[in-house]
Structures are given as C-alpha cells and as structure tokens.
C-alpha cells in the first residue's frame, strides 16, 4: 500500500474522531456539564479544524480528540464526572 495513502487515511481517521468528540463535548456543555479545561479544549479544536483544510496534522487532531474524550467520559481534571443513569435534567 502506498505510504502517502496510508498517511492520508490515518489523518482522515484522526480528524473524524476529533469531529465526533467535539460534537459530543458541545452537546455535554449544552446539557450543563462544563469546566474551563473543556471550554479551552473546545475552542482549540474549533480553531484547529477551521484552520486545517486537509488532514495533514493527525497527531494534533488525535491529541485534541483525546482531551475531548477525557472530558466526555468524565476523566478530565476539574471537570464534571461521567453522568450515567443519575443525570440531572
């Protein structure tokens, strides 16, 4: 398999993961779960995605996605814990 193709495919995967985690994070914030680290990570992801038209920086995309995933799963320091069945509504 062509190395460039593999690199581009991996980049697309990382970007897709970032988009998914970003969407989930924004929905969590709309549902009342927020903290400064999440606000900062969401802003960083938005800025990164708006300035990166092609998936050429998969390492940065993966790092941002990981931070957002930690927020979404309640593992980001100083952020709300994961809400399973006892979610406030």
Domain annotation covers residue 52: yes
* pLDDT tens-place string over residues 16-34: 999 999 999 999 999 999 9
Do residues 64 and 20 lie in contact, with contact meaning Cβ atoms separated by under 8 Å?
no
Measured from the Cβ of residue 87, the count of other Cβ atoms closer than 10 Å reads 10
Q: Where are the beta strands (DSSP E) in 1-89?
A: none
Look at the chain and report how many structural domains it folds into. Answer: 1
Asked whether residue 84 is assigned to any structural domain, the reply reads: no
- Does residue 60 form part of some domain? yes
Work out the average pLDDT over 40-46. Answer: 96
pLDDT at 54: 59
At residue 87, the pLDDT reads 61
């Amino acid at each position: 398999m062509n190395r460039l193709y593999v690199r581009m495919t991996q980049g697309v995967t990382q970007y897709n993961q970032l988009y998914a985690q970003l969407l989930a994070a924004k929905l969590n914030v709309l549902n009342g779960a927020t903290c400064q680290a999440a606000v900062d990570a969401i802003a960083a992801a938005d800025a990164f995605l708006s300035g990166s038209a092609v998936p050429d920086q998969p390492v940065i995309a993966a790092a941002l996605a990981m931070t957002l995933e930690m927020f979404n799963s309640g593992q980001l320091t100083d952020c709300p814990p994961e809400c399973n069945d006892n979610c406030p509504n």
